[in-house]
Amino acid sequence: MGVFSPDYIFPDILAVRPAWLAERGLRGLIVDLDNTIVPWRGDEPTPETITWFEELRGAGIRVVLVSNAGGHRGERMGALLGVPVVAPAKKPMSVGYRKALALLQMPASDVSALGDQIFTDVLGGNRAGVATILVDPVTPREFFLTRLVRLFERRFRP
């Protein structure tokens, strides 16, 4: 069950403090979009989320948004938050993680991946060799297939 187990669990992104990451040598961060930094299909990060991205930058932590969603939402969000974007990323496949590590210009050992889903964010991150951080979804509203997946996910939630 190792590949389904996150290294760390937090209630939300704001609880993941930039200093805490920096202390662990995790100077690169791969961040999921939907239901991690905004509600599913949401387009507006909260002021707290924008501040959190600024704090990461201040702590010297480089961020890449890695989302399975296509379209322009990811690009727009990246521009808003001042970070590069890989989308659609095909998580948990390795291609998106390889691109993200190339953008960060860092080895996997210096990077963590943060997201709300075990079968995409945690599985993909673990397979890519980065540290994995699981957060609760921002809202319960989401794609019906994702809701179905969560029924299975429950078995793997610690």
Provide the binding-site residues for Mg ion, judged by CB under 5 A. Answer: 32, 34-36, 116
Closer residue to Mg ion in complex, CB, 35/112: 35
Least separation in angstroms between CB 40 and Mg ion: 8
Question: What tokens appear for 77 in the block?
Answer: 């969000």
Angle at 145 between CA 99 and CA 85, to 5 degrees: 20
Least separation in angstroms between CB 36 and Mg ion: 5
Cβ atoms within 10 Å of 1's Cβ, excluding its own: 7
153 phi-psi bin (left φ>0, alpha ψ -120 to 50, beta other): alpha
Least separation in angstroms between CB 64 and Mg ion: 15
Distance, CA of 3 to CA of 84 (rounded, Å) = 26
Closer residue to Mg ion in complex, CB, 21/122: 122
Question: What tokens appear for 51 in the block?
Answer: 């501040």
> How many alpha carbons lie under 13 Å from residue 109 in its C-beta half-sphere?
0
Least separation in angstroms between CB 38 and Mg ion: 10
Closer residue to Mg ion in complex, CB, 59/80: 80
Closer residue to Mg ion in complex, CB, 25/99: 99
Which has the closest alpha carbon to 111: 120, 102, 119?
102
Closer residue to Mg ion in complex, CB, 91/104: 91
Least separation in angstroms between CB 146 and Mg ion: 8
Do the Cβ atoms of 29 and 53 come closer than 8 Å? no
